[in-house]
Chain A
């Protein structure tokens, strides 16, 4: 044969394995395998990724109100304190990601550390958290969509359309379906779009803060409140319940920051860029959170009437209420910033539950079809659609049972993040237990930091879950005399337990530890 580089064909089944192994090696070392990474990012790129994952305009509008209702003027203190467990857990997250890069993240890591049952629940927590945030993102996007229409046409009635329940649900489902379709088609927001979105968000949030402070200076603020040192004192929060609730909410506002720490090979300088990017990202985020939090408190106070940040009417989406009075005609920029950032996040967040479900399907912890990758679009096809259906169902249920769906979902979401981050952090401690005492660095990063972070988050989780049984908790919605947030939070976890038991019956392989084994 003149075709010398043609592969010899296996003549029998015995040769097949060897031939395939050879093939694979060639792929890995050849040009077509993993070689030079196109699109590796520098410091700025990594910071943009970090900020876009956090989506500050969206998180602030969603979390600022509920947090104020818990901790009042101590909002800045709680925002600062909330970063500590996030940092500690993210350090453990990084160690796990370096040791076992896997699309299933928390699911895979917790399975490797604690075995299939806890691993499954860790994965479930991650999926539930991302499903909940999807429904909230879509709802926020819809609110600002109608608000923007109202601002655009100078017709305030349009903004009220979002309060029309059937219309609101229909629009939200359309948004979810669109994001799902984009995700299914494997389309991703490009770098340049992210740069613009992030720049625009920061600009508008800065504008909001400056405008609010100038109202305060001119005496035109709604409830001008002088900034006090006590606002920064976390111990000034009246009760531990309020503190726990505040921290679990502020975990949410930093959620996504951990991604900057896990970027290694995609950065131009894997040694230094991820650490620097994480630092710069968190500095930018803390500065913008502090500025906006202080501006909001100074302008609106924490009163529970009118524009007050403590007014339950304003909790779901604070900027929807405040942007107009603060920014005047330019409030439409705020609507645009939040609409664009929540729409972009909606699409990018879809990737997360889909990949976790894909991984769980792959490891036989879920039915096989979850592990499907679309041949045409190379996206997790079944898992993406399943995520969309779940997010849509969650939204419909919350919207129809809660008086303030946005508020209650954010609180439930905070709980869910505490739950799965707690498990992930402890998985890190347990997985690396043998290496933890081999030097100060290992001790801190693989043991102490994740241990402290994990314990803190699980304590916050238990405390919030316990408190949320009170029917007056959160927005004050309840089902059968039990607070809705509790029903949502524990309901989702219990649903996970039930599904896990069903799975263990129909596909016992994974649960017998035969697919993902424990330990190294």
Chain B
């Protein structure tokens, strides 16, 4: 397993590295730290040959990567790469595809004052075009230990099966509990319907979860602890706030139906969840299939124990 980390030499980059380490530890994955430097053009640079600045950029990027590498603890393997490209997002996606990465990790926010997540332009471009899942680290994410729980946000639209398959696989591989979360925004006058709506949502989530859990393999089924939670509030933000979140938790969200197949497009609901969420979020492209369910067998088991 390889995770590509889009590194920026500031607090946002540190958030990303921490999250990547945390994710890698539960899975024995290796990190590829990538700094994107722009293509230096001769167009639009008068009185200054480009070669010199290019060297300065490469040198600086190498320095940044050395610093980034120092943030990664010794038990997590990591490599560094300098990539050249005009768009950070597209260059990162290119790197992820080329390196065969299973996940792209970035710091989502430049630190809004009131909102935990303020989507930066790179993150937002990534969310619109990535073909691999994108993990977004919230502002100030410092945790490096392995995950303790996985939450999967379920909407009531098509594509839920794929997302649940992915979530079950992830929880099984990491041997952590899975919580299926149904988030409901109920209008002010609709409090009376809350119980009915919650019941329907729970029934829906449980049905899909049952379908997603591998029926034949009893031991897998037993290993994966699952629960279904319905959270509601006047808005999605309030519903998210009402849930309790573990420090070592991530929320999985499927991309919107608007996305072309195999790429991520964050729907407005997901966007609103992101703003209220205190834990990292992983956005999975529609139709994305987890490559290796039960992959943990081929992984070094001692690694899982270590973390």
Contact = CB atoms under 8 A, between A and B. Distances in A.
Query: Does A pair with B?
Result: yes
A348 B300 contact: no
B51 interface: yes
B236 to A, nearest CB: 29
Contacts of A262: 49, 51
- Majority DSSP secondary structure for residues of B touching A: mixed
Contact of B41 (A5, A188, A356, A358): A188
Given A41-B42, A101-B55, A375-B13, A27 B82 contact: yes
A375 B81 contact: no
Interface range for A: 35 or more
B114 interface: no
B57 A378 contact: yes
B30 A375 contact: no
B305 interface: no
Interface in A1-33: 1-3, 5-7, 9, 20, 23-24, 27, 30-33
Interface stretch (B59-67, B154-162, B192-200): B59-67
A2 B301 CA distance: 11
Interface in A181-227: 186, 188-191, 194
Interface stretch (A102-110, A315-323, A510-518): A102-110
Contacts of B58: 33-34
B45 A348 contact: yes
Contacts of A2: 28, 298-300
B77 A102 contact: no
Nearest to A97: B49
B16 to A, nearest CB: 12
A255 interface: yes
B230 interface: no
A49 B42 contact: yes
A103 B53 contact: yes
B46 A351 contact: yes
A349 B77 contact: no
B56 A103 contact: yes
A74 interface: no
Contacts of A188: 41, 43-45
Nearest to B98: A31
B115 interface: no
B79 A7 contact: yes
Interface of B: 8-10, 13, 28, 30, 37-39, 41-58, 60, 62, 64, 66, 74, 77-84, 95, 98, 298-300
Q: Which 3 A-B pairs have the closest CB atoms?
A: A6-B77, A103-B52, A101-B51
13 contacts: A2-B28, A3-B28, A23-B80, A27-B62, A32-B82, A33-B58, A49-B42, A102-B55, A126-B47, A259-B48, A345-B46, A355-B52, A376-B10
Interface of A: 1-3, 5-7, 9, 20, 23-24, 27, 30-34, 38-39, 41, 48-49, 52-53, 55, 97, 101-105, 108, 126, 130, 186, 188-191, 194, 255-256, 259, 262-266, 344-345, 347-349, 351-352, 355-356, 358-359, 362, 373, 375-376, 378
